[in-house]
Amino acid sequence: MELIVLFLLVVTANADSSSRVSGGVSTLPGQYPAAVSIDSPYVLHCGGTVLDLQHVLTAAFCVMHPTTFSSVNPHWLRVIAGDLNLVPVSYRREVRKISQIFIHPNFNNVTNDNDLAVLRLDSPFPEFHNTIDPAILAMPFSPYRSQCQYVGWGAATSGDGVVLNPTQRVINVPIIATVDCNVPTVHNYRVLPTMFCAGSLSATADTTCQGNVGGGLYCNGQLEGVLIFGLACGSANQPGVYMDVRQYREWIYSQLYRTDNPEPSWMP
């Protein structure tokens, strides 16, 4: 995945967003109220998921320095919730800075195992309503070929200077058997037991792309995965790979009650 030194989003209100969308359709207000956008000075863009009034779940990759692999200063991050559009701003938008970052202690930046982080907001969201609401973490795993939905913003192509689609969109992606996802021509055994695949093995417009990491995959309305790699951008044999949140429920919920304050330079 390409990294940039500075996040820059330049879009006009009348821009043709269709050319920058990796498939899918625009969402409706209140359809996915747990989905948030995360801005970082190092990563083009990331997605996240509301856990409660003051915590958001995302990928550890989104809060790590790209060269030192240490956690970034939390005050450099910004979470946008309650708004379907990055621009223009609607009255529903809530913007928060981050006070603390809790990265999974066993995160491996080489294999992407345990690629999860919980962010604590500097101030809580207002009381939940139809455009900001916490996700329900899935319990049973959805079977092979189940239709799930990935929600986010992202872009249709990779590369430096790519412009994000300003409108939140959703794509339908089926669960793929790990044995099919791990063959040498696809993800070459990178999909570990803590992960699963969802998407298409053939070329399709409905795929995750740059700017989508950290976003949530919803199955039967519940959060089942957090995207960590597999940014197909429409090409074949690059389905999305997700951390299986079922296996991390205890760890995720325990972060909500932490009282320590990890140093910004923390390394896994």
* Residue pLDDT tens, the chain, 268 long: 333 322 333 333 333 333 233 578 889 989 999 999 999 888 778 999 999 999 999 999 999 988 888 999 999 999 999 999 888 888 889 999 999 999 999 999 999 999 999 999 999 999 898 899 999 999 888 887 889 999 998 776 666 666 777 889 999 999 999 999 999 999 999 999 999 999 999 888 788 887 789 999 999 999 999 999 988 788 889 999 999 999 999 999 999 999 998 988 878 7
Q: Which pLDDT belongs to residue 189?
A: 96
CA–CA–CA angle 240, 241, 242 (5° rounding): 120
> Around 236, how many Cα atoms within 13 Å sit in the side-chain half-sphere?
3
Q: Which pLDDT belongs to residue 165?
A: 77
Interatomic CA distance for residues 90 and 210, integer angstroms: 25
Of 92, 215, 206, 97, residue with least CA distance to 153? 215
205's tokens: 């417009």
Interatomic CA distance for residues 138 and 151, integer angstroms: 16
Neighbours of 3 (CB within 10 A): 13
Interatomic CA distance for residues 240 and 228, integer angstroms: 8
Yes or no: say if 208 and 218 are a contact pair by the CB < 8 Å rule: no
Q: Which pLDDT belongs to residue 159?
A: 64
Residue 147 DSSP label: E
Using the Cα atoms of residue 225, residue 230, residue 233 and residue 238 in order, give the sign of their dihedral: negative
Q: Which pLDDT belongs to residue 161?
A: 64
Q: Which pLDDT belongs to residue 160?
A: 64
Amino acid at 253: Y
The rounded Cα 108 to chain-centroid distance in angstroms is 17
Q: Which pLDDT belongs to residue 7?
A: 31
Q: Which pLDDT belongs to residue 10?
A: 32
Q: Whole-prediction pTM value?
A: 0.88
Domains of the chain (ranges; CATH) run 33-134+249-255 (2.40.10.10), 147-246 (2.40.10.10)
Q: Which pLDDT belongs to residue 13?
A: 33
Q: Which pLDDT belongs to residue 6?
A: 29
Q: Which pLDDT belongs to residue 127?
A: 86
Query: Where is 240: in which H helix or E strand?
Result: strand 240-244
- As a whole number of angstroms, the longest Cα–Cα distance in the chain is 48
